[in-house]
Amino acid sequence: MDLLSKYSDQLIDAFWTTVQLTAFSAIGALILGTILAAMRVSPIPVARGVGTAYVTIFRNTPLTLIIIFCSFGLFQTMGVKLAPEQSPTFFTQNNFRLAVLGLSIYTAAFVCESIRSGINTVHVGQAEAGRSLGLTFSQNLRLIVLPQAFRAVTAPLGSVLIALTKNTTIASVIGVAEASLLMKEMIENEAAIFVVGGIFALGFVVLTLPMGLLFGYLSKRFEVAR
C-alpha cells in the first residue's frame, strides 16, 4: 500500500499513456488492416502481391525492431517529425506518435489476416449476387462482404486488441512513459521487485480482462447464423 500511495499519480499517468497508445494504435491498425485485407482479396494481382508481401514481412519482423526503426530510422536519420518542433514537449509527443505508428504498422498485419479469414466465411454466392446487380468490387466489399466479415471475426479482433495492449510495453525502448517504463524505474528505486511486478501485472489484467469479456459477448451477440 505504501508503494501505491507513493506512486499513485505516476501509476495513473503511466497506465493512461498505455490506454492512449492502445486506442490510437488500434484505430490505425484497423484502418490499415482493412485496406490490406481488401488488397489481399482484390482481383488485381499487383494489389494481392503487395498485401501478401506486407503481411509476410511485418508478421515476421520483431516489434522492437519496428519501434526502434521508427525512432532512429524515421526521426533521427530521415528527419521525419510527427509533432510541432516548437512545442516544449516535442520529444515526448514525437516519440509517442512514432510508437503509435510502429504499433499500428505491426498490428495491421494481424488485423488483416483476421479480417481476411472473416471474408472467406462469406458465401461466394453473395458476392456474385452483388456483381450481378452491377456493384463494383469496392462497393461489393463495403456493402455486402465486410459487414458480415467483421461480425464473424469479432472474437479474433478482440484477441488482437488484447495482444496490442500488452505490446505497448515495447514503446518504452524509445522513452515513451507508459507502464513498463515506470515499472523499470520502480524496480530500480524500490527493493520490492515482486510487489512492483504484481502491481503492474494486476494493472494489465484490469485493462485486458474487460476487453476479453466484452469481445466474447459481442462475438456471441453478432454471431452469423449458418
Are 161 and 174 spatial neighbours (Cβ–Cβ below 8 Å)? no
Q: What integer best gives the mean pLDDT of the chain?
A: 86
Give the pLDDT confidence of 161-220 residue by residue, as tens digits. Answer: 999 999 998 888 887 877 777 788 887 777 677 888 888 888 889 889 998 898 888 888
At 225, is the pLDDT very low, low, confident or very high (cuts 50, 70, 90)? Answer: low
Counting other chains too, the contacts that 74-77 makes at CB distance below 8 Å and 24 or more residues apart are: 74/98, 74/101
Largest CA distance in the chain: 70
Determine the pLDDT at residue 176.
81
169 Cβ contact list (under 8 Å, min separation 6): 178, 179, 180
Say what the pTM is. Answer: 0.88
Q: What is the pLDDT of residue 75?
A: 82
